[in-house]
A and B are shown apart, each in its own frame.
Chain A
């Protein structure tokens, strides 16, 4: 179906779900307009972070210390890229499994984080935090790291360089393709998509 125009974003239509262009940082208005199944093209800044970086961020939160990045309105992409070769902006850069960040994400969402990009299911605590804080969980295609790297136009390490592939990077992305998995209304594309194609088979 053709997409509706939305505040802060421009719909580009396309087959399947709506395809919507959004620009970071994200506002409540944009989040309110997004639903599970919408396909988004993100332009702007996103931060990277995975297991080790999250562990450090949450240790700071627990101690009441400031974070090395201001997460308000931002998106964190769960990714640990391969090293860039000379002349490349970044190496292969697809999503990692998000469930490992479930223990950390609610605290960051409570601080104003608006979006996360990864792959795989989130737990109830994360889904509740999305509703409570007006935020979204977005899925990028797992294993399509070479393809996705083409949509990253700049990359620099902004914290925890010692973590190597797990350092926090500031990425500039252009039309980075994701799909809304969990919206702020409790919608869950993994659950809905699977239900649609589930079949009974005899043993």
Chain B
């Protein structure tokens, strides 16, 4: 059985947190460019050009793209043939967040006692950690800093099965409409369909790791994603909410079977600073 020291996970989390916050993916850079060309609103074009310039500046100067460097969402896919040694895995992940956010000059945005004193934890811990056991002898580490503005516009609906496909689409589009200018559009709409309450929310979040412009391998879901995207872009919200045809960057749907009584629909809203970086150990 392969042994892996958790210190390597710490190192990976620290490095990926800084990289994610300063180095926007090529998929989004390409989107800003293309969207600026086809956007009908002059103001919208200008905003998209600013976002491209901002991302380039962040890459060149190692300054975070956005001051909201988020809560540190961490996904670990742990091969079942790996033996993790050298300490507590969860503590190792938190140590990575602590180091990345402190040494990397990222903002610490975590507050304890959320409905009371709201005291900053000082080092952006704890990580929002999701682990999965998968076949193999590798560990995949994904860090996806998540800002508060877009997260606040997210929603979950435990809809009635009678509402069907149309009801689900209406709920998703309504969530985007209500969010308006608040979550820093253009946004990515992450959707989790089915499962239980928490699985739907998890799928919505996990879907955001997909590459912008990629096609869902399931043609039924690909068609659904296109329909949601068309309806959202017809809302007119536009870049920065100032009006335009570019409200949504992409729509990603994940799905699980649901209970015979349930139709959960979760919508996780992602701002245009869609940050995630990964490494395989």
A: residues with CB less than 8 A from B are 15-17, 52, 79-85, 88, 91-94, 96-97, 99, 119-121, 139, 141-147, 149-150, 163-166, 179, 189-190, 192-201, 203
Residues of B within 8 Å of A, CB-based: how many?
55
Report whether B240 and A145 are in contact in the complex, using a CB–CB cutoff of 8 Å. Answer: no
Cβ of A1 to closest chain B Cβ, rounded Å: 12
Report whether B64 and A197 are in contact in the complex, using a CB–CB cutoff of 8 Å. Answer: no
**4 nearest A-B pairs in the assembled complex, by CB-CB distance:** A193-B243, A198-B236, A197-B236, A120-B182
- Give chain B interface residues in 80-136, CB to chain A under 8 Å: 105-109, 118, 120, 122
* Interface residue? B66 (CB, 8 A): yes
* Interface residue? B235 (CB, 8 A): yes
Write out the residue numbers on chain B whose beta carbons fall within 8 Å of the beta carbon of A120: 149, 180-183, 241
Question: Quick one: which of B57, B66, B105, B234 contacts A143, CB cutoff 8 A?
Answer: B66
Report whether B107 and A121 are in contact in the complex, using a CB–CB cutoff of 8 Å. Answer: no
Report whether B65 and A92 are in contact in the complex, using a CB–CB cutoff of 8 Å. Answer: yes
Report whether B118 and A52 are in contact in the complex, using a CB–CB cutoff of 8 Å. Answer: yes
B: residues with CB less than 8 A from A are 40-43, 46-47, 50-51, 53-54, 57-58, 61, 63-69, 105-109, 118, 120, 122, 148-149, 152, 166, 169, 180-184, 227, 230-231, 234-238, 240-245, 271-273
Write out the residue numbers on chain A whose beta carbons fall within 8 Å of the beta carbon of B47: 141
B68 and chain A: residue at smallest CB distance: A96
A51 and chain B: residue at smallest CB distance: B118
Report whether B236 and A82 are in contact in the complex, using a CB–CB cutoff of 8 Å. Answer: no
Separation of A194 and B181 alpha carbons in the complex (Å): 10
Report whether A200 and B241 are in contact in the complex, using a CB–CB cutoff of 8 Å. Answer: no
Separation of A97 and B181 alpha carbons in the complex (Å): 9
Write out the residue numbers on chain A whose beta carbons fall within 8 Å of the beta carbon of B67: 79-82, 91-94, 96, 145, 165
